[in-house]
Amino acid sequence: MPTTERKPLLLDFEKPLVDLELRIEQIRELASDNGVDVSEEIRRLEARAMQLREEIFSSLSPAQRLQLARHPRRPSTLDYIQAISDEWMELHGDRRGSDDPAIVGGVGRLNGQPVVMLGHQKGRDTKDNIARNFGMASPGGYRKAMRLMDHADRFKMPIITFIDTPGALPTVVAEHQGIGEAIAYNLREMFRLDVPIICAVIGEAFSGGAIGIGVCDRLLMFEHAVYTVITPEGCAAIIWKDASKAPQAATALKITSWDLKNLGLIDKIIPEPIGGAHSDPIAAASTLKQALIQNLDELSQLSGSQRKQMRYQKFRQMGKFAEMSN
C-alpha cells in the first residue's frame, strides 16, 4: 500500500468535515501553547466530527460516490494485491508482442492458496497515468489478461480480477487492433474456465472495458465503487447533449453498489472505512481479503461443471424483463 505522505485531496462534500477537523487542531495547538486544559471541548468537537463524517458518507448521492470512486488516492489493483497476497510475482506480455501496463497480473498466494490475480491499473500521477492510459486497456491488455486466466485454468488456480476503469482504450489504433474482438473473446472464454472466478469492483467500472475481465462466479463491489454501461458524462452527452447533466445521469443509471445489489447484479457489497477506501487503505484491503477468502472457500466446494452452470445462469438472468399487457 502507498506509504508516502501526501496532502489529502479535498472533495466538495468533505469541506464541512475538514473545516471542523482544522478547528479542532487549532484549538489543540492554542491550548498547548498557553497551557490551558480544553480536553472536554476537544472530546465534544471530536464526537461531533465523527457524527458529521458518518452523516456525510451515509447519505452520498450517486454523483458523490462517483467522485469517491475516482479519487486519485483510492487504492489501486497493485495496492490491493501487495496488501492481501502472501507472495506475488507479476507476469508480462500477451505473447503477441504487447504488454499493456493498463492491465497488470500475475501469480500469488492468498491465505496460502496459489491464485492468479489481475486487474486494471491506473497511475498515481499525471506521468504514470499517461503511461497506463488512465487504466483504459488496449486489445493487448485484454489478451494478456486472457493468457493469464488460461494459465490459471491449466494449473487449477482460482482467478481474482480487480475492475477499475473508465472504459476500454477509445483510440483509432485500439479499434484497428481489434478492441471489440478482444473483449468479446474474453467474455466467451471466461465462461468455459473450470476454476473459481471472483471479480471485485474497486473503483469505477464502465462499459466493455470493465466486463472484459468481469465474467465470474461471484461479483463483489466496494461500497463507494460504481459500475454501469457508460460513464455518466457520456450518457448525459448522448441523451441531453450536455455533459454537465452527468449527476442526473448518474442517478438514472443506477450506478451505486446498493442499486446494483437491489437489482441482483452483484453478489456482495464490501463496506469501506468511513471516509472511503483512500482514508484507510489497510482497513479496506483487510475487508476485501476476508471477503475474497470467504467466497473462494465456498466456490471451492463446487465442481468445475457446477461453477460453469452457475456462471452461465448468473449472466442469463441479467437484463431479464417482463412485458406488461394493457
Distances (CA, A) of 93 to 99, 144, 169, 188: 4, 6, 17, 21
**pLDDT value of residue 5:** 44
Write down the pLDDT at residue 275: 87
Confidence of residue 154 (pLDDT cuts 50, 70, 90): very high
| Mean of pLDDT values over 110-137 | 95
Q: How far apart are the first and last CA of the chain?
A: 57
Average pLDDT of the chain is 91
Mean pLDDT, range 248-253, rounded to an integer = 96
Bridge pairing between strands 103-110 and 159-165: unpaired
Closest CA relative to residue 121, chosen from 221, 209, 218, 243: 209
* 9-38 average pLDDT score: 78
Average pLDDT over residues 235-257: 95
Cell output for 112: 496460502
**Could you tell me where the DSSP H helices lie in the chain?**
15-34, 39-57, 62-69, 77-84, 126-131, 139-154, 172-176, 179-190, 207-211, 232-239, 246-253, 257-262, 281-299, 304-316
Instruction: Evaluate if residue 325 carries a pLDDT over 90.
Output: no
Range scoring the smallest mean pLDDT among 39-43, 96-100, 108-112, 125-129: 39-43
State the pTM of this model.
0.89
Q: pLDDT digit string (tens) for 162-182?
A: 999 999 999 999 999 999 999
- Identify the weakest region by mean pLDDT among 20-34, 69-83, 189-203, 306-320: 20-34
Give the tens place of pLDDT for each residue, 173-221.
999 999 999 999 999 999 999 999 999 999 999 999 999 999 999 999 9
Mean pLDDT within 12-27: 81
Does residue 212 contact residue 182 with C-beta atoms inside 8 Å?
A: yes
Alpha carbon separation from 77 to 87, 119, 222, 238 (Å, rounded): 15, 6, 13, 31
With contact defined as beta carbons under 8 Å apart, do 257 and 266 qualify?
yes
pLDDT at 8: 54
190-203 b/e (C-beta count within 10 Å ≥ 16 → b): beebebbbbbbbbb
CATH architecture of 64-316: Alpha-Beta Complex (3.90)
Show the cell assigned to 259.
Answer: 442499486
CA distances from residue 234 to 3, 63, 138, 245 in whole angstroms, order as listed: 35, 14, 20, 10
Residues 259 and 62: their CA atoms lie apart, in Å, by 10
> Can you give the pLDDT at residue 208?
93
Cα(119)–Cα(164) distance, integer angstroms: 7
- Convert the pLDDT of each residue in 266-306 to its tens digit: 999 999 998 899 989 999 999 999 999 999 999 999 999 99
User: pLDDT at position 58, please?
Assistant: 83
Question: Which is higher by pLDDT, 54 or 248?
Answer: 248
